[in-house]
């Protein structure tokens, strides 16, 4: 079969925005070389209540009870707990994903690219037990690797960094199945925008040190307090996402050097005009910031995957973890007032970036 005629299935789950963004980045690039591509949210294959709980339950926990989520994350990643629950968890996952299994067996795609661990687990089960013949490529979308990502019939694991590779090795994945590709990145982050034009587009002052605050679609964390503490010392762009009450509350304060945005699909432009990014540590946001060579100040970290992402970046001197809004202000002023330190962080961010991640992943389709 000629490569362009291969049937590709790209699977993700809308439990957090990163899995979807990674899948879409792969899809957009793959369409240049392949004709038969399907992009599927596995949540659409779940029974109604299960789908609702899978998506809304995760969002509710990380926003309102992040410590409980952290306990769940670390317990389920421990060797002891994993041995106890793996068979029970997989049994319920297969029961819940019956529609997805039937779809995979019916369509028999040549290659499955998965950006979510549940999709990889189900595809792996179908390959091992039910005769699915697809090549399975699992794309890990964080710098750490939870046990849930380990799917025995995965042919290739694509991971963020050498640190991620070492975690996979420790979890028993053979080295010949691991590729350090970087996390998939939308090609729009590789375009070079004229910075001065963007300053004019957004009504920003190019002479001012600029901070971008972004926490994904939920607009979570003490954003109002952060803005209050830093707006007199720096120009601030705030992405509130779908958090309309947050947008309205900050709008009413009429800060002079603060620009507010609701949900945007041009984050790359806002990163381009910013000197630093104040953010949660989702794998995709970290990847985007590294590619744009922006130092990161991390806050409101979700225990588990985001803590690991942030710690990884901070060990490489491309980011800072701030435990409170006042620590964020100190970090902002430190970078603003020390141009050499700011440049060093930018250089480290550039060295960690993998802008060719998607092309590398597509080359593995074979």
Q: Per residue in 305-357, pLDDT tens?
A: 899 999 999 999 999 999 999 999 999 999 999 999 999 999 999 999 999 99
Among 118, 152, 184, identify where a domain stops: 184
CATH number at residue 307: 3.40.50.2000
Contacts of 48 (CB under 8 A, 6+ apart): none
Q: Which residues contact 60 (CB under 8 A, 6 or more apart)?
A: none
Q: Model confidence at 210, in pLDDT bands (50, 70, 90)?
A: very high
The residues, any chain, with a CB within 8 Å of residue 215's CB and separated by 6 or more, are 221, 223, 239, 241, 279, 280, 300
Residue 85 reports pLDDT greater than 60: no
What local confidence, expressed as pLDDT, does residue 258 receive?
Answer: 97
Same domain for 173 and 230? no
Please give the model's pTM, rounded to 2 decimal places: 0.90
**CB contact at 8 A, 25 and 115:** no
Average pLDDT over residues 47-62: 74
Residue 363 in any domain: the answer is: no
358 belongs to a structural domain: no
80 lies in the same domain as 156: yes
Range of the domain at 126: 3-184
Q: Are 194 and 155 part of one and the same domain?
A: no
332 and 246 inside one domain: yes
pLDDT for the residue numbered 91: 65
Cα–Cα distance for residue pair 264/93, rounded to 1 Å: 34
Q: 44 and 109: one domain?
A: yes
Residues 31 and 146 in one domain: yes
pLDDT surpasses 80 at 165: yes
Please report which confidence band the pLDDT of residue 274 belongs to, taking 50, 70 and 90 as the band edges. Answer: very high
- Same domain for 163 and 199: no
Whether 156 and 208 map to the same domain: the answer is no
**Total count of domains within the chain:** 2
**Residue 61's pLDDT band (cuts 50, 70, 90):** confident
Mean pLDDT of the chain: 91
Residues listed for the chain: 366
Q: Within this chain, do residues 290 and 250 fall inside the same structural domain, yes or no?
A: yes
Does 247 map to a domain? yes
Residue 95 makes CB contacts below 8 A (sequence gap 6+) with none
365 assigned to some structural domain? no
CB 318 within 8 Å of CB 286: no
For residues 12 and 32, membership in a common domain is answered with yes
> 187 or 216: whose pLDDT is higher?
187
Asked which of 162, 184, 206 is the last residue of a domain, the reply is 184
Determine the Cα–Cα distance for residues 77 and 5; give it in Å rounded to an integer: 39
Q: 54 and 178: one domain?
A: yes
Task: Report the distance separating Cα 267 and Cα 218, nearest Å.
Answer: 15
Q: Which residues are 239's β-sheet partners?
A: 214, 261
Residue that is last in its domain, among 136, 157, 184: 184
Asked, for residue 357, whether it belongs to a domain, the answer is no
What is the C-alpha to C-alpha distance for residues 237 and 257, in angstroms, rounded to an integer? 9
Kindly state whether residue 246 falls inside one of the protein's structural domains: yes
CB 138 within 8 A of CB 114: yes
Q: Specify the pLDDT at position 4.
A: 72
Cα→Cα distances 124→36, 41, 55, 143, 154, Å = 22, 17, 22, 22, 6
* Low-confidence winner among 134-138, 187-191, 346-350 (lowest mean pLDDT): 187-191
pLDDT at 62 over 80: no
Q: Do 197 and 180 belong to one domain? A: no
Instruction: Report how far residue 291's alpha carbon sits from residue 287's, in angstroms, rounded to the nearest whole number.
Output: 6
């Amino acid at each position: 079969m000629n490569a362009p005629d291969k049937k590709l299935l790209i699977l993700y789950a809308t439990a957090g925005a990163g899995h979807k963004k990674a899948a879409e980045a792969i899809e957009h690039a793959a369409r240049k070389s392949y004709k038969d591509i399907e992009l599927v949210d596995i949540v659409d294959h779940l029974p109604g209540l299960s789908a609702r709980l899978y998506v809304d339950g995760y969002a509710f926990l990380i926003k309102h009870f992040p410590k409980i989520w952290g306990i769940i994350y670390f317990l389920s990643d421990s060797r002891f707990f994993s041995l106890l629950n793996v068979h029970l968890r997989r049994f319920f996952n297969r029961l819940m994903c019956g529609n997805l299994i039937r779809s995979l067996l019916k369509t028999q795609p040549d290659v499955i690219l998965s950006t979510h661990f549940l999709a990889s687990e189900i595809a792996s089960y179908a390959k091992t037990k039910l005769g699915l013949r697809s090549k399975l490529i699992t794309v890990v979308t964080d710098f750490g690797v939870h046990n849930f990502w380990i799917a025995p019939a995965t042919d290739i694991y694509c991971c963020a960094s050498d640190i991620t590779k070492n975690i996979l090795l420790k979890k028993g994945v053979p080295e010949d199945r691991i590729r350090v590709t970087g996390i998939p990145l939308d090609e729009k982050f590789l375009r070079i925008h004229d910075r001065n034009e963007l300053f004019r587009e957004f009504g920003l002052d190019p002479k001012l040190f600029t901070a971008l605050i972004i926490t994904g679609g939920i607009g979570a964390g003490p954003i109002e307090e952060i803005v209050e503490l830093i707006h007199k010392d720096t120009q601030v762009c705030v992405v509130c996402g779908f958090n309309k009450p947050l947008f309205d509350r900050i709008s009413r304060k009429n800060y002079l050097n603060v620009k507010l945005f609701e949900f945007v699909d041009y984050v790359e432009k806002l990163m381009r005009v910013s000197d630093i990014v104040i953010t949660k540590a989702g794998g995709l946001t970290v990847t985007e910031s590294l590619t744009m060579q922006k130092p990161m100040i991390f806050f409101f970290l979700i225990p588990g995957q985001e803590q690991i992402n942030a710690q990884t970046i901070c060990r490489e001197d491309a980011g800072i973890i701030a435990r409170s809004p006042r620590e964020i202000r100190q970090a902002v002023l430190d970078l603003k007032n020390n141009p050499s330190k700011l440049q060093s962080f930018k250089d480290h961010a550039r060295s960690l970036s993998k802008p060719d991640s998607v092309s590398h992943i597509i080359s593995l389709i074979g």
